[in-house]
């Protein structure tokens, strides 16, 4: 006859017991409410239902739902909420609205023989709205400005790329972000001079289009192209053309 103590001390029994204990402890940990503390010392016992970078939804031990800004709790609780978010990632349905306008920064003139040359410095103003329904951290945007340079009647397409960090964007937050500048020139023949090949006496460079790409945590999640982007240069998942005009 095998003694009960002998069975309980066998490796197989100990392994089963340890595994069962682990499951039990995990279940208890997952369901155990956390005691949240405000900076003035008030406490609240509750479970996290959901959380964003700036707000947390809780359910108290009595079943009362509460939504509160995360900064209303002490630092230790804020770190607890941040860890909870990492352990419970939420699928994000990315949606943005994008467009741009352009503005002149400065202008200078000079004369070269019989030609007046005006150099203007322009920048684009990207207007970006987070319509994803939640706050997003680590948002960046890269862009390409397309512009045309005129040389004796010949249009030469050029582009300038850039990147900027938007940081944190709250739900429905709209940001207007300036790009790097682009130098555009206008040349004008004076004194009755003209080009013998029929080229117009006034040649003007201009910004023609823009491509905007939005990234979240290093991954591209949205792309927008205005009208006039060269074919094959980019794709558009957002609006097909400028909402503001140019």
Per residue in 224-238, pLDDT (tens digit) is 999 999 877 755 554
Mean pLDDT of 175-187: 96
pLDDT band (50, 70, 90) for residue 190? confident
Which 3 state secondary structure label does DSSP give 134?
coil
Which 3 state secondary structure label does DSSP give 26?
helix
pLDDT band (50, 70, 90) for residue 9? low
In 3D space, the residue among 245, 214, 241 whose CA is nearest the CA of residue 225 turns out to be 241
CA–CA distances in Å: residue 124 to residues 20, 53, 100, 159, 229: 62, 30, 6, 13, 15
Q: What is the token pair recorded at 217?
A: 């945590």
Query: Could you give phi then psi for residue 126, rounded to 5 degrees?
Result: -80, 130
Q: Is 75 exposed, middle or buried (0-12, 13-18, 19+ CB in 10 A)?
A: exposed
If one compares 84 and 90, the residue with the highest pLDDT of the two is 84
Please tell me the predicted confidence (pLDDT) of residue 10.
Answer: 53
pLDDT band (50, 70, 90) for residue 186? very high
Mean pLDDT of 183-209: 86
Mean pLDDT of 189-218: 87
Please tell me the predicted confidence (pLDDT) of residue 234.
Answer: 58
Residue 124 to residue 240: CA distance in whole angstroms: 18
Please tell me the predicted confidence (pLDDT) of residue 162.
Answer: 97
Looking at residue 230, the DSSP 8-state letter turns out to be P
Please tell me the predicted confidence (pLDDT) of residue 14.
Answer: 42
pLDDT at 239 over 60: no
pLDDT at 242 over 50: no
Per residue in 12-68, pLDDT (tens digit) is 444 433 434 333 333 333 457 999 999 999 999 999 998 988 899 999 999 999 999
Mean pLDDT of 75-79: 96
Please tell me the predicted confidence (pLDDT) of residue 169.
Answer: 95
Q: What is the token pair recorded at 242?
A: 């400028």
If one compares 3 and 192, the residue with the highest pLDDT of the two is 192
pLDDT at 195 over 80: no
Residue 73 to residue 79: CA distance in whole angstroms: 10
């Amino acid at each position: 006859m095998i003694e009960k103590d002998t069975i309980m001390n066998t490796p197989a029994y100990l392994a089963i017991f340890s595994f069962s204990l682990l499951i039990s402890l995990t279940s208890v940990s997952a369901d155990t409410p956390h005691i949240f503390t405000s900076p003035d010392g008030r406490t609240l016992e509750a479970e996290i239902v959901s959380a964003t970078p700036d707000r947390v939804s809780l359910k108290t031990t009595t079943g009362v739902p509460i939504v509160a800004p995360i900064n209303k709790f002490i630092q230790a609780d804020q770190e607890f909420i941040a860890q909870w978010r990492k352990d419970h990632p939420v699928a994000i349905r990315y949606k943005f609205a994008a467009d741009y306008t352009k503005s002149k920064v400065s202008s200078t003139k000079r004369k070269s023989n019989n030609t007046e040359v005006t150099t203007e410095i322009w920048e684009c103003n990207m207007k970006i709205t987070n319509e994803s329904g939640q706050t997003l951290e680590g948002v960046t945007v890269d862009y390409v400005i397309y512009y045309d340079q005129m040389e004796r009647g010949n249009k030469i397409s050029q582009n300038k790329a850039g990147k900027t960090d938007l940081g944190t964007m709250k739900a429905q937050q709209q940001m207007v972000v300036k790009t790097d500048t682009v130098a555009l020139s206008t040349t004008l023949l004076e004194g009755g001079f003209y080009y013998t090949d029929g080229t117009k006496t006034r040649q003007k460079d201009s910004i023609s289009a823009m491509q905007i790409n939005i990234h979240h945590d290093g991954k591209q999640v949205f792309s927008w192209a205005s009208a006039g982007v060269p074919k094959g240069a980019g794709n558009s998942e957002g609006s097909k053309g400028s909402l503001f005009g140019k």
